[in-house]
Amino acid sequence: MKKKVLIIGGGLSGILTGFLLKQQGFVVKIIEANNRLGGRIYTKNVFNTKVEMGATWLWEYNSELINLCKELQIELYPQNMKGHALFEAMNAHSPQKFELPKNQEISYRISNGTSNIIDKIANKFSNEEILLNEKVTEVIETNVGITVITNKTKYIGDYLITTIPPSLLVNTVKFIPSLPVDLISIAKNTHTWMKDSIKFAVVFKKPFWEDQKLSGVGFSHVGPFTELYDHSNNENTSFALMGFINSNLYNLDKKEREEKIIKQLIKFFGDEVQNYLSYEEEVWKLAPFTNFVDDSYVTPHQNNGHTLYQRRYFNNKLIIAGTETASSFGGYMEGAVIRAKEVASIIKKEV
Ligand SMILES: Cc1cc2nc3c(=O)[nH]c(=O)nc-3n(C[C@H](O)[C@H](O)[C@H](O)COP(=O)(O)OP(=O)(O)OC[C@H]3O[C@@H](n4cnc5c(N)ncnc54)[C@H](O)[C@@H]3O)c2cc1C
């Protein structure tokens, strides 16, 4: 009898774990609450321009992710940093040009957008194996396995792997019997990487900042954006700037943030900014399938890879996974790949 594995979450951890287990002959079902796969990987396509609303960069030491990209025949290219950068220190002054240090660590981008990784893995599944718009609300241990209740129906599996960020998991999913109190406490205090960030991208017809010998890199102590990068593609056929907005501005409406960002970009690069094609943004703090909003402060990366995540629960049938539970690089895409491999090998060995 083939063993059935249910996986909650169709982000990088969930989809890669599913694929590795499917390769080993397991019957896999991935249950995703959102209307898209990818989770914190989210590439939008606007005016034929791929803009990253979530994960964007990887680094030379992300060897597992680099190998995955190789296997999927996905190319990487260095983040464009050519030209001067700008720094806005005070509201009253124009941003000042400066030269970026030469010995900076190189960040790489993913050809065709980070979602390319998700799409290529998702193509290996059938429609029955990936379920969208199904929010898991309850997990029940039974004599024969484990039952998962969603907003639509229920599923029974021999194993359950959850990849929901731990803090969101214990605050939004009911477990019967209850999970151990020490695990609940650690999960509530596990930081979900980038949970408070607001990312934006502005798409243009031309990279006019290059004419001014600017790299598109900007930093600001004034805001609303605090960091800015060139976001054009490697082929130089689509052009954008992308950055991070001060996370305290999450409660403004999109139009207000857009107006403030465009005004600030004009201060950086001049009136050509006004001809922008599109403004895109994602407020991750308010993303219901990433963040559980509460008042507690959790230090970034706190409790990532905690030993309690290395144990199994519900008579070894339940595994808590996702990047925040990885033994290294927790919070990053590299952590998601590492954890997917760890979990797939645990289940494979047991069976
Ligand atoms: C703005 C931003 C920028 C980032 N930049 C980088 C970067 O440059 N480099 C880098 O390495 N990493 C970056 N990251 C982190 C990276 O995106 C994550 O490490 C990685 O994508 C996590 O994958 P995951 O599958 O573990 O979790 P997630 O992507 O969070 O996946 C969890 C999945 O579970 C689903 N889910 C939640 N609740 C339920 C439920 N009740 N029922 C069913 N499904 C549910 C969610 O919809 C989601 O699809 C960034 C993240 C953000 C938000």
Residue burial 6-42, b: 16+ Cβ < 10 Å; e: rest? bbbbbbbbbbbbbbbbbeeebebbbbbbbeebbbbbb
Rounded to an integer, the average pLDDT of 146-174 is 98
- Cα Rg for the chain, rounded, in angstroms? 21
Residues near ligand 1 (Cβ within 6 A): 8-14, 31-34, 39-41, 54-58, 135-136, 163-165, 168, 172-173, 193-194, 197, 199, 284, 289-290, 322-323, 331-336
Residue nearest atom 37 of ligand 1, based on CA coordinates: 289
The pLDDT, as a whole number, for residue 350 is: 86
pLDDT at position 277 over 80: yes
233 — pLDDT class (breaks 50, 70, 90): very high
CA of 335, closest atom in ligand 1: 19
Q: Phi first, then psi: what are they for 300, rounded to 5°?
A: -50, 135
Helix, coil or strand: residue 144: coil
Instruction: Indicate the length of the chain as a whole number.
Output: 351
The pLDDT, as a whole number, for residue 351 is: 83
Residue nearest atom 14 of ligand 1, based on CA coordinates: 55
CA of 180 to the centre of ligand 1 (A): 25
CA of 205 to the centre of ligand 1 (A): 30
The pLDDT, as a whole number, for residue 295 is: 83
Percent of the chain predicted with pLDDT > 90: 97
Residues in contact with 2: Cβ distance below 8 Å, sequence separation at least 6, in sequence order: 25, 26, 27
Domains assigned to the chain: 1-42+114-194+290-351 (3.50.50.60), 80-112+196-286 (3.90.660.10)
291-302 confidence digits (pLDDT tens): 999 988 999 999
Between β-strands 27-31 and 4-8, what pairing exists: parallel, antiparallel or unpaired? parallel
Crossing angle between the packed helical segments 63-71 and 333-350, to the nearest 10 degrees: 80
The pLDDT, as a whole number, for residue 125 is: 98
CA of 132 to the centre of ligand 1 (A): 16
Percent of the chain predicted with pLDDT > 70: 100
Rounded to an integer, the average pLDDT of 319-332 is 97
CA of 164 to the centre of ligand 1 (A): 8
Rounded to an integer, the average pLDDT of 5-12 is 98
Q: Are 136 and 173 in contact (CB under 8 A)?
A: yes
Place of tokens 């990279």: 207
Q: What is the pTM of this model?
A: 0.98
CA of 300 to the centre of ligand 1 (A): 15
The pLDDT, as a whole number, for residue 108 is: 98
Residue nearest atom 5 of ligand 1, based on CA coordinates: 55
286 — pLDDT class (breaks 50, 70, 90): very high
CA of 65, closest atom in ligand 1: 11
Rounded to an integer, the average pLDDT of 316-329 is 97
Place of tokens 């151990």: 180
Residue burial 329-341, b: 16+ Cβ < 10 Å; e: rest? bbbbbbbbbbbbb
Q: Are 151 and 135 in contact (CB under 8 A)?
A: yes
The pLDDT, as a whole number, for residue 144 is: 87
Strand partners, 283: 198
CA of 261 to the centre of ligand 1 (A): 25
pLDDT at position 245 over 90: yes
The pLDDT, as a whole number, for residue 33 is: 98
The pLDDT, as a whole number, for residue 102 is: 84
103 — pLDDT class (breaks 50, 70, 90): confident
Rounded to an integer, the average pLDDT of 272-296 is 96
Residue nearest atom 21 of ligand 1, based on CA coordinates: 40
CA of 165 to the centre of ligand 1 (A): 8
Mean predicted lDDT score pLDDT of the chain: 97
Rounded to an integer, the average pLDDT of 55-77 is 98
CA of 244, closest atom in ligand 1: 1
94 — pLDDT class (breaks 50, 70, 90): very high
